[in-house]
Chains A and B, each alone.
Chain A
Amino acid sequence: QKEVEQDPGPLSVPEGAIVSLNCTYSNSAFQYFMWYRQYSRKGPELLMYTYSSGNKEDGRFTAQVDKSSKYISLFIRDSQPSDSATYLCAMNTGGFKTIFGAGTRLFVKA
């Protein structure tokens, strides 16, 4: 079993939809939870990070962490075609190693 599980999709939604992306994990020692966005043939770039449980909002993006369920989510409101990318969840215990999910491919249709 992988430490971090993420549905690879693809997920296709119409412009303006609310998108929900999710990851589950097995290591209860994870304390830091990140979401990276990766456009085709580019390197991943950090979108948001959250420490421990709770919510964090940044514009149209909201990250949620539920440590009791070992489940994290990223919500995108009013999705735009420019949001079409692969979204990678990532987790870290506070040390040097970060574990990534497989990534979910998102397509937002105009």
Chain B
Amino acid sequence: NAGVTQTPKFQVLKTGQSMTLQCAQDMNHNSMYWYRQDPGMGLRLIYYSASEGTTDKGEVPNGYNVSRLNKREFSLRLESAAPSQTSVYFCASRETGDAGANVLTFGAGSRLTVL
């Protein structure tokens, strides 16, 4: 089925470990996004990529890096995980033709726990 695929779905890390969350979309969307979702905080934008070859910081970029590998794939890396990064991470993509509304298609989420 067409959509946004995230891996892994679950991960437990120890403080200081690193990991990469992978995201791929097969809808030929130009823009891709990484959000985190915490109780009572809603979805907060970490980084986004408006198009292949570009990335920009969102509201909460500290402690994260991203790579837009190609048009389909956008990865999120935690270099040295901290307990404050325990969260559910969502990748999303946006259809080019609907630029103004910025309607997002989300993946199923990746649940990360940092001990």
- Of chain A, the residue at the smallest CB distance from B9 is A41
- Of chain A, the residue at the smallest CB distance from B88 is A41
**Chain B proximity mask over A10-54: 1 for CB below 8 Å, otherwise 0:** 000000000000000000000110100000011111100101000
- Of chain A, the residue at the smallest CB distance from B48 is A96
With A46-B104, A49-B101 already in contact, the answer to whether A100 and B43 are too (CB < 8 A) is yes
Determine the interface band of chain B, counting residues with CB < 8 A from chain A.
20 to 34
B100 and A98 within 8 A (CB): no
B42 and A92 within 8 A (CB): no
B103 and A46 within 8 A (CB): yes
A41 and B109 within 8 A (CB): yes
B90 and A31 within 8 A (CB): no
Q: Cα distance A10–B41 when bound, in Å? A: 15
A51 and B101 within 8 A (CB): yes
- Of chain B, the residue at the smallest CB distance from A42 is B108
Interface residues in A33-89 (C-beta closer than 8 Å to B): 34, 41-46, 49, 51, 88
Interface of B is mostly: strand
B42 and A100 within 8 A (CB): yes
* B50 lies within 8 A of chain A by Cβ: yes
Q: Closest approach, in angstroms, between the C-beta of B34 and any C-beta of chain A? A: 12
Set B42, B45, B101: member contacting A32, Cβ < 8 A:
B101
Q: Determine the chain B residues whose CB is within 8 A of the CB of A108 once the complex forms.
A: none
* B107 lies within 8 A of chain A by Cβ: yes
Q: Determine the chain A residues whose CB is within 8 A of the CB of B35 once the complex forms.
A: 100
* B31 lies within 8 A of chain A by Cβ: yes
Q: Determine the chain B residues whose CB is within 8 A of the CB of A102 once the complex forms.
A: 40-42
Seen from chain B, the residues whose Cβ lies within 8 Å of a Cβ on chain A are 4, 31, 35, 40-45, 48, 50, 56, 58, 90, 92, 94, 99-109
Seen from chain A, the residues whose Cβ lies within 8 Å of a Cβ on chain B are 4, 6, 8, 31-32, 34, 41-46, 49, 51, 88, 90, 92, 94-103
- Closest A-B pairs by Cβ, 7 of them: A43-B106, A100-B43, A102-B42, A92-B102, A100-B42, A32-B101, A98-B102
Beyond the given pairs A42-B108, A49-B101, A102-B41, 5 more chain A to chain B contacts, judged by CB atoms under 8 angstroms and listed by A's residue number, are: A6-B42, A41-B109, A43-B90, A51-B100, A92-B102
